[in-house]
Amino acid sequence: MKKIVVMVSGSGSNLQAIIDSCNRKHIDAEITCVISNNPRAYGLERAASANINSIVINHKDYKSRDCYDSELMKALDNLNPDLIVLAGFMRILTEKLTSKFFGKIINIHPSLLPKYPGLNTHQEVINNKDSIHGVSIHYVSSELDCGPLIAQGEIKTKTNENINDLIERVHKIEHLIYPEIIKYICDDRISVESNQVKFNNINTINSIIYNKYEV
């Protein structure tokens, strides 16, 4: 059975979706640890409720990103996971870490990349009156939100929709698509070689998984 480490900074709603999927045996893997940079993250309570070990590595205790990531790398080396899942982990990882674990770390980002990397994606969609919005799942590389793209989930925007409603709808598709992609990776149906994502018997559109949702 594959071992997963999930990294969170906040509420951990995606973590909960992954926990639920593992408990249903939809994902054939075990979450062996939850790591957070925030000692107050609600995701830590979710881990405790599910009897999952957790580690807090508070970035405020380290003088630099390099020092912080060195400690993070030690923890990940000790845990030796098959897959590292960033689920609202609000830290930019150094090239040292992303290079060491490339092909093992995935992230979910709330936009249809390459549109709107970084923060405030929902407001950008509203400001630009985009007709569609969504999420992207990608392997993590040294460039922010630029690693090899695995999957995207799309929703249509609504006229005069407020940002909180839009965020809620995006969260709903995150909770659907992220566990599905994790399942495929744990079943060895998705991998990455030479910066190219490989799919085993999975339907793709333009070399990625692309799903449209009505939520």
First to last CA, the chain: 33
Could you tell me if 154 and 115 are in contact, meaning their C-beta atoms sit under 8 angstroms apart?
no
Helix/strand/coil for 74: helix
Q: Which of 26, 59, 109, 122 is catalytic?
A: 109
Helix/strand/coil for 127: helix
Please report how many Cα atoms fall inside a 13 Å half-sphere around the Cα of residue 64, on the Cβ side. 4
Rg of the Cα trace of the chain? 17
Which residues, including other chains, have CB under 8 Å from residue 95's CB and lie 6 or more apart?
Answer: 142
Q: Which pairing describes strands 190-193 and 149-156: parallel, antiparallel, or unpaired? A: unpaired
The structure tokens listed for 82 are 């098959």
Is 109 marked active-site? Answer: yes
Residue 187 is classified by DSSP as T
Beta strand spans in 87-148 (E): 105-109, 132-139
What distance in Å separates the CA atoms of residue 43 and residue 52, rounded to the nearest whole number? 11
Please list the active-site residues: 109
